[in-house]
Structure 1
Amino acid sequence: MNQQEIKQEIEKLIQKVESDIELVFSLRLQNILDELNKMYIKFVKSDETSYTDLNKYNRLSKELDNIATELSEDYKSIVSMIAEMNETIYVENYLKTAYLFEVFASTEMGFAPPAKSLVQISLRNAIKYLTLPLVLERHRNEIVHRLNIEISQSLIAGEGYWKMAKRIENAVNFSKKKARTVARTEGGRALSLSDEQVYKQASKYATVTKVWLSALDNDVRNAHRKLDGEKADKNGYFHFKGMKAKGPHQWYVAKMDINCRCVVIYLVNGMLPELRRGRDYRDANYQQKLADRIDKYMEDGLTYAKALKKAQKEVKPPNVVVPVQTYEEWEKKFVA
């Protein structure tokens, strides 16, 4: 186990919720189109009279109200999905990173499973009006308003069902993308806050240094690309153009936090923690060779994450006969 593997597991949790959100919007889109199609078949005489036909007896108004009600339920489920994901990310990252640090450093660091109430308090957004339910409520109101406009304008223009369906699809897909961005941002924030709590606890027993890792691809914003490989100051802060943060998603500035995929990894007593049976990752010679190889690849233009991944494949630690305590064995100490 190493820190990158823990982050990869967290990434899978975020991707799972993104997929679940996709499904929610896909089902809602299909439902809206099915209901409007039924109305067209039953009531519309021609495209030119469609607005009048569907407005008769408040048919359109009732359907728009129904769409709004169903979207409210959809967004409630999305809020629950993301909130549950956040708690899972926080706890899993906290315990697995704590395990890695303790076993690697051969030091009891006083870690314990975080209480659910404390996790929920930690996850509350520090910025007023940017709590998860409020953000998604605003998104829900936006899509309801947009669908009302798109459907009404399409009917007034006499565009016909299929043109209207395309308008609806575009509106729903736009909102789906925004909801996925919220999930990605919230998941990253939960990870970062969990990392920070591990850092605070581990720093009581070892010298722990934060290193900023940008994402592996070319979509990273320029500010975060410049932070790649940077170490935090002695107080645990990263700095960029007069701003400071303890980690990704903790700038509390939209352009620095939204949809960020960066992470922080840690050096423990100047070394990169990693655990494998039969390997001595604490060997000083190995750690120095690894650090030198990372520096070389970064000079060649690789991101820290890519340089680290490549260096770990090429530089191997010496064998050791001492067995490594597994995560499952370590976790048992918390069972009453």
Structure 2
Amino acid sequence: MQERYRKLTEKLVKFTSRAEKELVAEYMTALQDIHRLLESQYLQYEEDGKLTFEVMTKHNRLKKFEQGMVDYIVVLNKKIGSTLIKHLKDLYTEGYYTGAWILETETLTKLAFSSVPIEVLENAIQHNFTGLTLNERLQAQRNDVILKLRQVVTSGLHEGQTYRTMARSIQDQMEMNATKAMRIVRTESKRLIEISKLDSVQHANKNGVVIMKEWNSSRDERTRNSHKSLDSKKIPTDAEFSIGSDKGKAPTLFSRPENSINCRCFLTYSVEKIEKPQHAGLKDMPLEQWKKERLTK
């Protein structure tokens, strides 16, 4: 069973890579829109190839340009939020249902799994382990990039920068913001991967299958020493792992962000005892057949 959970984790991580590519494409679209907007200002108001603060403050030009940038960032933020939340919902349900399928077909027990209620999905996605919900984190990121872009533009105008220099500065700022967005995507995705697996295991644990969970670190130079020390540690499903005084039921579920952000560790599970009747008909049942026959609405 441990190997099946390992493969499930790898599958869900690859699933996340596709979402990252979608978000990068959305950032590129927003950047191109802002560059076109910037180019139009230079074509109209540049003097000797340069654009100055004095020229742009006339007739509310700067204010209108900044509002145009803000509009593009607001649209970008909405697309990112929509793409990310859909991805996380799909990620959770895939992890939960596949984990449930693994449990029933490995133990040959009927564990009464049901479809995931929408409120469970919402709670999992908006869990505020950093003190902010996902929506609040995305809102804070949007406000930050708007502020940084306005600073870049104002500074460039005071320096009388050329279009190329200004466009490069805006691109650098957008790329930094995209990197931050990818960090959110990876951290949130990893958290949903571990929660989805753990939730299905806890359900089984409450219904007659005693399960242990084991920490697996990524075992390379990027792995935190505190996470390396947890490698191969096996504890009961409902117990918590400890990093100093910080505790969490799985990787990415610690209360302190430094113990969760960018974590690449994962859990695998092993059955200790089965306290339910077994059903041979579950053996080797394909996932899609299992979903049709075993999931209750």
Is the pair's TM-score, using the shorter chain for normalization, greater than 0.5?
yes
Give yes or no for contact 1:123–1:193 (8 Å, CA) kept in 2: no
CA separation of 1:9 and 1:335: change in aligned 2, threshold 3 A: same
Give yes or no for contact 2:250–2:266 (8 Å, CA) kept in 1: yes
For residue 80 of structure 2, what is the aligned residue in structure 1? Answer: 78
Aligned pairs, number: 286
TM-score by length of 2: 0.89
TM-score by length of 1: 0.79
CA deviation string 1:186-236 (max 9, x = no partner): 111112221221121111322211111123643222222222221125742
1:208 to 200, 208, 211: 211
Q: C-alpha distance in 1, partners of 2:94/2:51? A: 58
Superposed structure 1 runs of 4+ greater than 4 Å apart = none
Q: C-alpha distance in 2, partners of 1:216/1:270? A: 30
For residue 307 of structure 1, what is the aligned residue in structure 2? Answer: none
2:284 to 310, 324, 328: 324
Give yes or no for contact 2:252–2:261 (8 Å, CA) kept in 1: yes
Q: C-alpha distance in 2, partners of 1:335/1:136? A: 35
CA separation of 1:161 and 1:126: change in aligned 2, threshold 3 A: closer
- Give the root-mean-square deviation of aligned CA atoms: 2.2
CA deviation string 1:132-160 (max 9, x = no partner): 11101111111111111111111111221
Q: C-alpha distance in 1, partners of 2:116/2:219? A: 31
- Unaligned segments of structure 1, at least 5 residues: 272-321
Q: C-alpha distance in 1, partners of 2:86/2:218? A: 24
1:155 to 154, 157, 164: 157
Q: Which has the higher contact order (CA 8 A, sep 6+)?
A: 2
Q: C-alpha distance in 1, partners of 2:67/2:237? A: 56
Give yes or no for contact 1:231–1:238 (8 Å, CA) kept in 2: no
TM-aligned CA deviation for residue 129 of structure 1: 4.4
CA deviation string 1:278-311 (max 9, x = no partner): xxxxxxxxxxxxxxxxxxxxxxxxxxxxxxxxxx
TM-aligned CA deviation for residue 262 of structure 1: 1.8
* Residue 186 of structure 2 is aligned to residue 226 of structure 1: no
In structure 2, the residue corresponding to 1:265 is in which secondary structure?
A: strand
For residue 271 of structure 2, what is the aligned residue in structure 1? Answer: 268
Q: C-alpha distance in 1, partners of 2:237/2:68? A: 56
CA separation of 1:335 and 1:209: change in aligned 2, threshold 3 A: closer
CA separation of 1:199 and 1:236: change in aligned 2, threshold 3 A: farther
Q: C-alpha distance in 2, partners of 1:207/1:24? A: 45
